Structure 1
Amino acid sequence: MTRSARRTRRTLQWTGVAVAALLALSACSSSDDSSSDAATASASAPGDAAPELSGTVTVFAAASLKESFTALGATFEKAHPGTKVTFNFGGSDSLAAGITGGAPADVFAAASAKTMAIVTDAKDAAGTPATFVRNQLEIATLPGNPDGVATLKDLTDSDLKVVLCDRTVPCGAAAQKALDAAGLELTPVSYEQDVKSALTKVELKEADAAVVYKTDVKAAGDKVEGVEFPESADAVNDYPITLLKNAPNAEAAKAFIELVRSAEGRRVLTGAGFIKP
């Protein structure tokens, strides 16, 4: 073989190697692109995305939850544009009666297990209610406590105008339990249908004192003064929350309940004076 022929053969061999390398590189690149495209398609698959929440969530909640739940409602709406949280605050027994009577609602948050049982016994709850906070009683007096109320027994003074929640309402049932624990009898000037109504009587100076929740005393600020009493430890109320069976907006309702039970919800509630369960 001549020198020229050997040189030509070597050139063809190197050319073949280069072509093979280029083909392999191209194949590898094509495979990577395909894998990348597949991964992108998989990540953006509609089934993997969390459903967007929208519409109104109707929450029936104990009157003592008004301030904290209103704040959490605003947080929820901000986190889920297109949603709106509406509240019906009142005495837990009245709210429970409304739910069992067919009032449209998504969530029920009660101030006692007893009032929640009205709803669960009627099979209007979806699942098992969960206790998310607890609450304790306190005496609310006029600012500065001009009558010098220091104990639960002081409320039995006939010269004092004292207001209690109705005994069918959780705050009234708790107050009666505390009175029983202390062996006291008290005749109030009125029984109110929810804790806010009882507190308002003191704020408007229509009563000298009322037995309400610590959270309500705190929410009232300088409009009233709070007096703690040891018997309140015998009458602490658990607050349960549940999704309702016929909830018109179940998905958004579940998300609201998750917020209430989350670390953020716990921060807002304990900041309002509620006790961890």
Structure 2
Amino acid sequence: MTSTAHRRHPVPQAAGVCAAALLLLGACSSSASDADPGTGSPAKPSGTVTVFAAASLQESFTALGKRFEKEHPGTEVSFSFGGSDSLAAGITGGAPADVFAAASPRTMKVVTDKGDAVGTPVTFVRNQLEIATLPGNPDRITSLKDLTRPGVKVVLCAKEVPCGAAAQKALHSGGLTLTPVSYEQDVKGALTKVELKEADAAVVYRTDVKAAGAKVEGVEFPESAKAVNDYPIALLRNASNPTAAKAFIALVRSAQGQKVLAEAGFLKP
């Protein structure tokens, strides 16, 4: 979809006005990139903002997207959810996006190393692993070690995906080796295998277990504390709608946004 961003063109009088304000108030509060050229006041978000976000953010970001559209009439938030590594590859390959929210600093680094992010990404939440089992936990799985028992069909996220890298770190911290029946490209794919009863258990995020409700049962394990993932968010260099992008990031980091994320099971940054 095509979006229209508000952009401010240089105004000759702007420097003088800003200098006067600096003398009287000690600062110039307006930003050239975020000001309406007609009034000089902060530009209002409009048009479509495209957000690339880790699959584990789907439920909470969808809710925040609806809130954003309600607070800013005339805007639309378009999401692309998936494995952070795939999203990062898309961004560095030229896929059009305004905001990137990754499930690990490592995948965000792929984007920043290519110069495709503006400024320094900010961690806005953290997430911890949990074991998702079939409802009622028929295999009586109570620990990470139980997943190594013969006959237990376990699914993991691919090792290059943040949830997969975290699972490997947790297994290593417990001195455990696990051969899954499959590696999935994102956390939702791993969880779906359990929901469809194609696997007995999966190592996913606690937020995904919570979002699944009665479809699965969650089992906490101490090794997960050794593999907590930080989630960074950033404005992208080639954003077509930077004004709306900045406003969406501000909502995610606001008290309202943090409340929605906390209710989904995310940890404070």
Q: Where do residues 162-181 of structure 1 align in structure 2 (5 Å cutoff)? A: 162-181=154-173
User: Does residue 87 of structure 1 match 2:79?
Assistant: yes
User: Does residue 103 of structure 1 match 2:95?
Assistant: yes
Tell me which residue corresponds to 1:59: 51
Tell me which residue corresponds to 1:8: none
Q: Distance in 2 between the 1:268 and 1:86 partners?
A: 19
Q: CA deviation at 1:49?
A: 3.7
User: Does residue 138 of structure 1 match 2:130?
Assistant: yes
Q: Distance in 2 between the 1:91 and 1:46 partners?
A: 41
Q: CA deviation at 1:262?
A: 0.2
Q: Deviations over 1:150-197 (max 9, x none)?
A: 000000012011000000000000000000000000000000000000
User: Does residue 190 of structure 1 match 2:177?
Assistant: no
Tell me which residue corresponds to 2:245: 253
Q: Deviations over 1:176-224 (max 9, x none)?
A: 0000000000000000000000000000000000000000000000000
Q: Distance in 2 between the 1:171 and 1:68 partners?
A: 17
User: Does residue 231 of structure 1 match 2:208?
Assistant: no
Unaligned runs of 5+ in 1: 1-44
Candidates 222, 230, 240, aligned match of 2:232: 240
Tell me which residue corresponds to 1:120: 112
Q: Which amino acid aligns with 1:90?
A: G
Q: Where do residues 19-98 of structure 1 align in structure 2 (5 Å cutoff)? A: 47-98=39-90
Q: Deviations over 1:24-46 (max 9, x none)?
A: xxxxxxxxxxxxxxxxxxxxx95
Q: Distance in 2 between the 1:218 and 1:117 partners?
A: 28
Unaligned runs of 5+ in 2: 1-36
TM-score with structure 1 length normalisation? 0.83
Q: Is contact 2:44–2:243 with CA below 8 Å preserved after alignment?
A: no
Q: CA deviation at 1:53?
A: 1.7
Q: Which amino acid aligns with 1:71?
A: A
Q: Deviations over 1:91-121 (max 9, x none)?
A: 0000000000000000000000000000000
Please say which structure displays the higher CA radius of gyration.
1
**Count of residue pairs brought into register by the alignment:** 233
